[in-house]
């Protein structure tokens, strides 16, 4: 009995001293991967390879490599498709509360399960834009300091990420808007269904458009194998998020749940490379 008690005390002490050892709740998993994609676990110092079935947690950052596409299924019933050269941080996923993501680069399609709970929202923040939905199918494309939001089905509310920049738009089906740095969203413009289908198919933003995936090669633990290259040794502080969030919001977006910590008072801080602070450092030689 004394030996068992000592083991329990040791475990409690270890978890107290090293919180990263605690088991984080899964918020989703990799459903399909064509090509290569990597993950940076919360507080980790190197990228790991993603594989089909790999569990994902809040705080994880995922990236796709060139000529690669990734499909993620979330516990709230939503599905994400990431095109090549896309980086995304999973901040929170919840069926009853809020699902929130920071997107740094690339192209992503979010097929969002309809929210039945009024408090349940789905939001994506980029360097220039904030998009909020209740249940819809939309695409986000980032081109340096320009964010393009396209609604495939449903309705998407879009604003500049800086709360002092007025001018929000509501995108209906087949409409798009552009949000440039320090500018409000442009007036919605109509796309043909064929043009949107071309965006989806050309970028692998559907399960069919992704093509065939390689054979499953997970190990016995259900995890992928570590990436040999590229890796990095930068300190974890290099990927901290900006903390100058402001809780003042516009009333017009209440239905979409734009609230505390969504928009920022000033442009998000950038580091010397011009990337968001919560973006992972680029791999060497990139």
Range 92-117 average pLDDT? 89
Residue length, the chain?
286
275 contact partners, CB below 8 Å, separation of at least 6: 104, 282
Nearest to 82 by CA among 104, 60, 106, 47: 106
> Distance between CA atoms of 163 and 141, rounded to whole angstroms?
21
Confidence grade of residue 224 (pLDDT, cut at 50, 70, 90): very low
Q: Where are the domains of the chain?
A: 25-256
How many CB atoms neighbour CB 110 within 10 A? 26
Q: Is the pLDDT of residue 5 over 70?
A: no
143 contact partners, CB below 8 Å, separation of at least 6: none
Q: Is the pLDDT of residue 251 over 70?
A: no
Residue the block writes with tokens 């879009």: 158
> Distance between CA atoms of 236 and 233, rounded to whole angstroms?
9
The predicted structure's pLDDT at residue 87 = 97
The predicted structure's pLDDT at residue 42 = 79
> Distance between CA atoms of 90 and 94, rounded to whole angstroms?
11
* DSSP of 98-146: EEEEEEEEEEEEEEPPPP-STT-EEEEE-SSEEEEESS-EEEEEEETTE
Q: What are 142's strand-pairing partners?
A: 106, 147
The predicted structure's pLDDT at residue 44 = 81
Element (H, E) at 218: none
Q: Between 175 and 18, whose confidence is greater?
A: 175
Alpha helices of the chain — where are they, by DSSP H?
2-17, 193-202, 207-210
Q: Pick one of 2.60.120.560, 3.30.930.10, 2.60.120.1440, 3.90.180.10 as the CATH number of 25-256.
A: 2.60.120.1440
Cβ contact 264:161 at 8 Å: yes
Q: What is the pLDDT of residues 18-56, one digit of tens each?
A: 444 345 679 999 999 999 999 999 778 899 999 999 999
Highest mean pLDDT among 5-14, 22-31, 245-254: 22-31
Q: What is the pLDDT of residues 252-261, one digit of tens each?
A: 334 444 444 5
Structure letter (DSSP) for residue 204:
T
Q: Is the pLDDT of residue 274 over 50?
A: no
The predicted structure's pLDDT at residue 242 = 35
Q: Given CA atoms 41, 149, 286, 242 in this order, what sign does their dihedral have? A: negative
State the average pLDDT for the chain. 76
User: What pTM did the predictor assign?
Assistant: 0.72
Range 239-265 average pLDDT? 38
> Distance between CA atoms of 186 and 207, rounded to whole angstroms?
31
Q: Between 235 and 268, whose confidence is greater?
A: 268
The predicted structure's pLDDT at residue 227 = 39
Q: Is the pLDDT of residue 225 over 70?
A: no
Structure letter (DSSP) for residue 214:
P
How many CB atoms neighbour CB 274 within 10 A? 10
The predicted structure's pLDDT at residue 179 = 98
| Structure tokens that stand for 12 in this block | 């409690």
> Distance between CA atoms of 199 and 213, rounded to whole angstroms?
20
Nearest to 200 by CA among 210, 189, 214: 210
């Amino acid at each position: 009995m004394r030996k068992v008690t000592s083991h329990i005390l040791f475990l409690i002490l270890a978890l107290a001293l090293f919180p990263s050892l605690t088991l984080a709740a899964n918020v989703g998993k990799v459903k399909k991967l064509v090509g290569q994609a990597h993950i940076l676990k919360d507080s980790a110092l190197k990228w790991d390879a993603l594989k089909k079935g790999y569990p994902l947690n809040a705080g994880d950052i995922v990236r796709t490599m060139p000529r690669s596409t990734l499909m993620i299924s979330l516990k709230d019933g939503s599905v994400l498709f990431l095109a090549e050269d896309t980086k995304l941080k999973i901040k929170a996923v919840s069926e009853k509360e809020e699902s929130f993501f920071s997107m740094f680069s690339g192209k992503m399609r979010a097929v969002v399960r309809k929210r039945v709970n009024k408090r349940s929202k789905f939001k994506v923040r980029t360097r220039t834009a904030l998009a909020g939905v209740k249940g819809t199918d939309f695409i986000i494309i980032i081109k340096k300091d320009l964010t393009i939001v396209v609604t495939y089905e449903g309705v998407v509310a879009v604003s500049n990420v800086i709360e002092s920049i007025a001018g929000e738009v509501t995108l209906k089906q087949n409409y798009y808007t552009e949000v440039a740095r320090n500018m409000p969203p442009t007036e919605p413009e109509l796309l043909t269904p064929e043009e949107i289908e071309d965006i989806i198919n050309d970028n692998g933003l559907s399960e069919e458009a992704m093509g065939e995936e390689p054979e499953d090669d997970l190990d016995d633990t259900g995890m992928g194998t570590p990436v040999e290259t590229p890796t990095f040794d930068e300190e974890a502080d290099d990927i901290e998020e900006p903390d100058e969030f402001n809780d003042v919001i516009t009333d017009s977006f209440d239905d979409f749940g734009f609230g505390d910590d969504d928009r920022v008072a000033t442009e998000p801080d950038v580091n010397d490379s011009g990337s968001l602070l919560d973006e992972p450092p680029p791999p060497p030689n990139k």
